[in-house]
Structure 1
Amino acid sequence: MIYRATVGFISIVLSVVLLAACGDSPASTTVSIAIAEGGFEPARVEVARGKSITVRLQNTAAQEHQWAIQELPMVVQGKADPMAAHNMAGMDGSQMGENPPQLHLVAPPGQSTELTFTPSKAGEYEFRCILPGHSEKGVLVVR
């Protein structure tokens, strides 16, 4: 009887310890960025390295806008392909060098879109709208 009670108690303690060790995954911080003909608002965004962030791009303009970062060490998490809704016709890569952007959101007029990722290296990373003729830009600061 004592043996059975001891084994039961140890099983409960181990279960509690293992569940506590698992914990919840850290919640994603949402960063809302509005884009219009005047530029991004805010144009400077600060986030923590190693913490999951969701960038929500809200297009308040009458034409399509984009949010793109050429290079950012990170882990992308479980959202739809950020390029899936975009027609790349006419895009020659000249807006951000020869390589396509690593992070890319497309927001049609009056709509929003989002992407979740975890930046893995501190630094300052320029983001911009890469549509031909557009010059809106800002900076993502990873601390």
Structure 2
Amino acid sequence: MPRLLIDTAKGRMASIVLALVTMVAGSTGMASQSETVEISITAQQGFQFEPTELEIPVGAEVILVFENAGIMGHNLHIPELEVMTDTITPGKTETVEFTFDEAGTYAFRCEVPGHAEAGMTGKLVVQ
């Protein structure tokens, strides 16, 4: 009979240790995934974005505010993520949200015909 009590106690201890390990691992993962970064990119006159390069932490949830300060319609496209804003008129903004799961350099561009070729490109560096 005492052996059964010892086995039961060992089982409870193992359950407690497993629960603690799970809580610690879970909370560590949650901390790294909960970061939110808000960035702004503005389409300027002269077929350019401002800024043309931004750094973003890997795994962060990104809120991108795209503003058109130009004199014609523009959009913003990140091909590798299949993220694209609508073509917006001057003075308007659009917000898109996404996450970079992998480090790297991601290009963005205006997809209005001729705009990227005229210089409306940039890059997001994810580290």
User: What is the aligned partner in structure 2 of residue 104 from structure 1?
Assistant: 84
The alignment partner of 1:71 has SS state of helix
Report the Cα offset of residue 27 of structure 1.
4.7
- Residue 41 (structure 2) pairs with residue 41 (structure 1): no
Length-normalised TM-score, structure 1: 0.60
Instruction: Decide which structure has the larger Cα Rg and report it.
Output: 2
Runs of 4+ in structure 1 displaced over 4 angstroms?
A: none
Deviations 1:15-60 (A, max 9, x none): xxx8xx5x78725211011112330100001101111111100100
Aligned residues: 97
| Matches for 1:21-36 after TM superposition, within 5 Å | 26-36=34-44
User: What is the aligned partner in structure 1 of residue 125 from structure 2?
Assistant: 141
User: What is the aligned partner in structure 1 of residue 102 from structure 2?
Assistant: 121
Query: What is the identity percentage for the equivalent residue pairs of Structure 1 and Structure 2?
Result: 32
The alignment partner of 2:76 has SS state of strand
Flag structure 1 segments of 5+ consecutive residues without an equivalent: 1-17, 73-101
The alignment partner of 2:85 has SS state of strand
User: What is the aligned partner in structure 1 of residue 9 from structure 2?
Assistant: none
User: What is the aligned partner in structure 2 of residue 56 from structure 1?
Assistant: 65
Length-normalised TM-score, structure 2: 0.67
Question: Larger helix proportion, structure 1 or 2?
Answer: 2
The alignment partner of 1:61 has SS state of coil
The residue identity in structure 1 corresponding to 2:101 is: S
Flag structure 2 segments of 5+ consecutive residues without an equivalent: 1-22
The residue identity in structure 2 corresponding to 1:129 is: C
